[in-house]
Structure 1
Amino acid sequence: MALQIGDALRSGLDTLLSEDGLLITGVFLLFNLGNTVASSTFTAALFDEMMNMGGPAGPGSVAGAGAPGFSVSDFTGPFSLDVAMPVAVVMVLLFLLIGQLIKFWGIRLFAEPREIMDENTSDRAVMAVVLGGGVAVLTFALSMSSSALNASGRPLLGGLAGLVGGLLSLVVGLALVYLLQSIALYDGGYVATLKHSVARFMDAPAQIIVLLFLLALLGIIPGIPSTASVVSMVLPGTFNLPSQSVLQVVSMVLNAPVQAFSLAVITDAYLQVRADQDDDGF
């Protein structure tokens, strides 16, 4: 049986509206608040580092924005902390790992007990941090390589790094789309779990790509308030919108159920393709 996209979406909606779904949505909301502080703090620290390296923008303006009236606080809102760059990096990395643990817990929560092959939660949670966190950190590093090269005055290399990093992130993200589900619900070691994750993607690659595309479209909704706040700053008076901080909070609130729904949908998709394989050696 091929992956049934409609079944996965319906199962995800039912899970989202259940007690477990509401619980994980609330946890995602709290996580989003902390993650916003971490990412805003990192953005502010990165901006300061670029200014110290002699970035193209003058004091109080955003590097390369071409709009001298903007400061970095216009984009980070009231959520950034005044800390050194190493501390900001640690904050971002810490929340990357916390995010993996939350998803791991949510997957175990969404699955039926009979669908969990390894009941040793602590060992599998460590694997989630090591494998899932490792992939998340790698993706983050790839995304930052372009900014680092641009800040060092090498825009051509920065553009190339951004292109290569984006392609690598896409390939890794697709091939390991079921990685956390495999960690949470499978019973293999580190290498076996990686192979199992890739094998399950290869069982129905076209269907999962379509499903991910649909979830990506849904993910646009939480970003609308933040995008609107940026537009209102660039074109003042065009829209009568609430303050940027209010719009950022709205984005956080909208993003939480989308994250929970997406996690439930991908988990159901994984269980569908896994049920189709009695013994594939992985």
Structure 2
Amino acid sequence: MALQIGRAFQDGIDEFLSERGAVFAGAFIVLGLANGIIWTSLSQGLVELFIGSLPSDVEAQTVMSETAPLAFEIPVAVAAVGALALFVVSEALNIVAIRAFASDTSDPIPDNVGRRLGKTVAVAIAAGILTAIAVGIGIILLIIPGLLLAFLFFFVRQEIALNDSGVIESISNSIGIVIDNIVPAAVLFVVLGVLGLVIGAAFGFLPISLPAMVSTTVSTVLSSVVGVFSIAVTTMAYLQATESEPNGAHMTESVGGL
């Protein structure tokens, strides 16, 4: 079945507005806020360690605290471990969300979304690192190659979560799906990317100045919600492109083959 832009968005919106979408929006918001706290705390801790090795500079410390509203006084080692743990949790939550949105059950979190989760998360992390390196190199090479690679890797997570693909297989299959549906996939990629950028930068265009804590928190919440919407739309698009019906056919086949 060819990828249809309108249908992908409609199915994605339906999933996003369902009870399942609300559950994952809440989970991603909590994860986003936790990430914000841990990473800003880690960054502030590292800067303070660096400043501590120099002559006292109260002004530099004050500037740092003002630009990191979610930072807490957390030991650097604890913050680093927390950041690593949240990275793994984030990958796991992405996999679970993809499987849930692809499921044909009405349960917000279907029973089978946790199958082989440890192995799947490990593959997703390995694929994410490999694709991030490739995209990063492409960005350095005048940006356009990086964006092109990011586009070709559009369905890597869906391949891993729903097709149990390995690292290289998921990358290869994603490239094949994108090339076979290049125009609608490009539209989805651009629209979702622009939506994420607009939401992320929205508070920079407000005519009033909000407290840093408020703007950072609200921006994190909105970005998390948009992230869930993007997962829903991309998953529905993947199911179409792989000739599976939305809400479960591909998921059911994959589970049935275990």
Same fold? TM cut 0.5: yes
8 Å contact kept, 2:160–2:170: yes
1:246 aligns to 2:214 (yes or no):
yes
1:227, distance to aligned residue in structure 2 (A)? 3.6
CA distance 1:242–1:190, shift in 2 (3 Å): closer
1:273 aligns to 2:236 (yes or no):
no
Instruction: Return the alpha-carbon distance in structure 1 between the equivalents of residues 128 and 79 of structure 2.
Output: 17
What is the DSSP-based 3-state SS (H/G/I as helix, E as strand, rest coil) of the residue aligned with 1:72? Answer: helix
Aligned to 2:99, which of 86, 105, 108?
108
8 Å contact kept, 1:142–1:166: no
Instruction: Return the alpha-carbon distance in structure 1 between the equivalents of residues 81 and 12 of structure 2.
Output: 33
Which residue is equivalent to 2:150?
A: 173
8 Å contact kept, 1:40–1:76: yes
For structure 1, which runs of at least 5 residues remain unmatched after alignment? Answer: 63-69, 146-159, 230-238, 277-282
Count of paired positions: 238
1:130 aligns to 2:122 (yes or no):
yes
Measured against aligned partners, the alpha-carbon deviations of 1:122-142 in whole angstroms (never above 9, x if no partner) come to 32x224322222344457779
TM (norm. structure 1) is 0.69
CA distance 1:50–1:202, shift in 2 (3 Å): farther
1:195 aligns to 2:172 (yes or no):
yes
CA distance 1:13–1:131, shift in 2 (3 Å): same
Aligned to 1:77, which of 69, 74, 77?
69
Measured against aligned partners, the alpha-carbon deviations of 1:130-171 in whole angstroms (never above 9, x if no partner) come to 22223444577799x9xxxxxxxxxxxxxx997259667545
8 Å contact kept, 1:2–1:273: yes
CA distance 1:79–1:225, shift in 2 (3 Å): farther
1:47 partner amino acid: V
1:52, distance to aligned residue in structure 2 (A)? 6.5
Which residue is equivalent to 2:247?
A: none
TM (norm. structure 2) is 0.75
1:105, distance to aligned residue in structure 2 (A)? 0.6
1:247, distance to aligned residue in structure 2 (A)? 1.3
CA distance 1:273–1:213, shift in 2 (3 Å): same
What is the DSSP-based 3-state SS (H/G/I as helix, E as strand, rest coil) of the residue aligned with 1:110? Answer: helix
Which residue is equivalent to 1:260?
A: 228
Instruction: Return the alpha-carbon distance in structure 1 between the equivalents of residues 148 and 73 of structure 2.
Output: 34
Which residue is equivalent to 1:213?
A: 190
What is the DSSP-based 3-state SS (H/G/I as helix, E as strand, rest coil) of the residue aligned with 1:211? Answer: helix
For structure 2, which runs of at least 5 residues remain unmatched after alignment? Answer: 106-111, 245-258
What is the DSSP-based 3-state SS (H/G/I as helix, E as strand, rest coil) of the residue aligned with 1:275? Answer: coil
1:200, distance to aligned residue in structure 2 (A)? 1.9
Q: CA RMSD in A?
A: 3.6
8 Å contact kept, 1:221–1:254: no
Instruction: Return the alpha-carbon distance in structure 1 between the equivalents of residues 143 and 46 of structure 2.
Output: 20
Aligned to 2:160, which of 183, 187, 203?
183
Question: How do residues 8-157 of structure 1 correspond to structure 2 at under 5 angstroms?
Answer: 8-48=8-48, 51=51, 60-61=59-60, 71-84=63-76, 86-113=77-104, 121-123=114-116, 125-137=117-129
1:48, distance to aligned residue in structure 2 (A)? 3.7
1:222, distance to aligned residue in structure 2 (A)? 3.3
CA distance 1:204–1:131, shift in 2 (3 Å): same
What is the DSSP-based 3-state SS (H/G/I as helix, E as strand, rest coil) of the residue aligned with 1:61? Answer: helix
